[in-house]
Chain A
């Protein structure tokens, strides 16, 4: 037995190293890197869907901004109307004060100018 090993030592070692090398090479080419093609595809699909949703959100943001601009214009109109109301109130307040202080002739004149008689 010992003589057999002594005589064939080189061959035995060569065979063991060859088997070891073949095993490692096969293992290197067959083993995946952890991420399967299916997982990759799923992640890409999810990324696409997320991208579409983000685009949708951007469009919604644009429409919200346009609505806000419209609201600002409306607010400006409302404040203008409030100013007008104040002007009207002041004008008629002044007029009523004038009526209160007016004499008979002035009242008659007011009637005349109002109804053109």
Chain B
């Protein structure tokens, strides 16, 4: 913090404290070489099913659990529990995949 204050004395918001940190230019940008080898897991979440404990205890092999998503609905891609994109289920060779339809701006 201190070093940056000294480097940019003319910035009007330089004294505004930590809440303005996101507005200031980051020290380490997301596309930095630093992150070249850092991987994150993006989770493909199909949907929710709300069952009572009674129903839950009655589940057996072969039981069908209906989810709250329609067949043609987009599914959610979550990064650390946060929704970051939506897409449709696709098959890629012998694996499932998700084709991104909706994604937030990088910010």
A and B, one complex?
A: no
